[in-house]
Amino acid sequence: MIDIDQCDLIRPEFRDALPKDKALAIAGVSRKGALSVQINTSEAGLDLAVFGGKPLDQELEISLTQAAEHFSLARLSREEKFVAMHAPPIQRFGRKNVVSPNISSGHKRR
């Protein structure tokens, strides 16, 4: 795992999310592959998409759902599957509120 908590360019809410990211990564990492986490902010909290790692079985899905609830994430997805959504991840554009699409849907596996 590469620590980026000392990066001057990282947004404070992302820096604060690093322990959450690490906990989710540890739950889903495999010894054979890379794992990446993408984060967006929203009015409802953080919107995380996790890619790679172990296949999403029932045990991992339960573990990730519990972690998402514990960390009060707006939404958590794994690959292209929603794992948990506490609240719709709303983006505000002027006076309009827009629910952002699942950020994992645009991710291309290598």
Q: Over the stretch 24-52, which tens digit does the pLDDT of each residue have? A: 666 666 666 677 778 888 999 889 888 88
Considering the domain boundaries, does residue 65 fall inside one? Answer: yes
Q: How far apart are CA 39 and CA 37, in angstroms?
A: 7
Task: Look up residue 2 and give its two tokens.
Answer: 């590469």
Considering the domain boundaries, does residue 26 fall inside one? Answer: yes
Considering the domain boundaries, does residue 3 fall inside one? Answer: no
Count of domains observed in the chain: 1
- Domain holding 46, by residue range, is 12-106
| Among 47-51, 72-76, 106-110, the least confident range | 106-110
Considering the domain boundaries, does residue 49 fall inside one? Answer: yes
Tell me what pLDDT residue 94 has: 93
Tell me what pLDDT residue 56 has: 83
Considering the domain boundaries, does residue 71 fall inside one? Answer: yes
Burial class (CB in 10 A: 0-12, 13-18, 19+), 106: exposed
pTM summary value: 0.72
Burial class (CB in 10 A: 0-12, 13-18, 19+), 64: buried
Tell me what pLDDT residue 105 has: 56
